[in-house]
Amino acid sequence: MSYRLNYRGDVKYAVQLFRPILRALKAETPGEKPLFRFVDDENLAFLNLDTLSVQLASSGKFVGQGMFLVRRMKSGLLRAYIFVNENLYKDTITETKQRLKITRVHEFIHFLSVIYYLTYFSKSFWKGKLSQRLNKSIDRLLEPTLDKLFSALSHDGETSTISELADAHFRLHCEGKTPDYMELFLHFMFSRQLFEEFFDEDKQRRFKQLMRDNATHDALALLVEALKKVCAAKDVPYDTAKNQLLEWVHLYKP
């Protein structure tokens, strides 16, 4: 499978490989979830991360909206934790649901940096160095920071100026070549693969035909309708989705 060779160099393949982990964490619903263990997933066996697991839980017993940390267990196994403030699950209004998605994706990108770290060095290296390095790399997403992220992502803001989205914010500086972490964040928020769950092959054919017929207004209406539906279903800020779509919309043209 091509993504096995390209997940370090291409955002698209990284999303293809790692999105199933995020979905397995069932972060859309509150409560403590079962562990996701790499040893149980045949598609990820080539990463040789049989000692690593990750767990998501919602809790109101910490300061912040989200938190990420990694601990080495007495058994020698590594366990990553993603915590989400339970208050983000209490409201069903669109803004709160979008803040929840931003939080869980933000902490998940920190988890990806650990995966890249672990798959860059041999086990003999990171077994002796990892705990010391990662114990200093706990991320805590505070409410003012989440407010800033939400504002930038939902009002067509300059995401490149938000330090908590920058590649350097997520980077451990010892994980070798990886995709840009800010790009990973944006594609986990909204990717072409996610869009095409709503803008399927039939709609793509209709869009191309409308463009051929110079019915540009109707073609754009079809595109925007699908965009609004996926934003509502997947809790993505509209401006974030629109900006992402602009990167690949040309691929749908005849």
Tens of pLDDT along 40-64? Answer: 999 999 999 998 999 999 888 888 9
Q: DSSP code of 50?
A: T
56/97 Cα distance (integer angstroms) = 17
Average confidence score pLDDT of the chain? 89
Domain ranges within the chain, ordered by starting residue? 2-189, 190-254
pLDDT tier, 84 (very low <50, low <70, confident <90, very high otherwise): very high
98/93 Cα distance (integer angstroms) = 9
Question: Which helix (DSSP H) or strand (DSSP E) does residue 238 occupy?
Answer: helix 238-248
36/38 Cα distance (integer angstroms) = 7
Identify whether the C-beta of residue 166 lies closer than 8 Å to the C-beta of residue 1.
no
**At residue 1, what is the residue type?**
M
Mean pLDDT within 121-143:
68
Question: Is pLDDT of 138 > 80?
Answer: no
250 exposed, middle or buried (CB, 10 Å; 0-12, 13-18, 19+)?
exposed
Q: Which residue has the higher pLDDT, 205 or 62?
A: 205
Question: Which helix (DSSP H) or strand (DSSP E) does residue 85 occupy?
Answer: strand 78-85
Q: How far is CA 190 from CA 77, 111, 227, in A?
A: 32, 18, 10
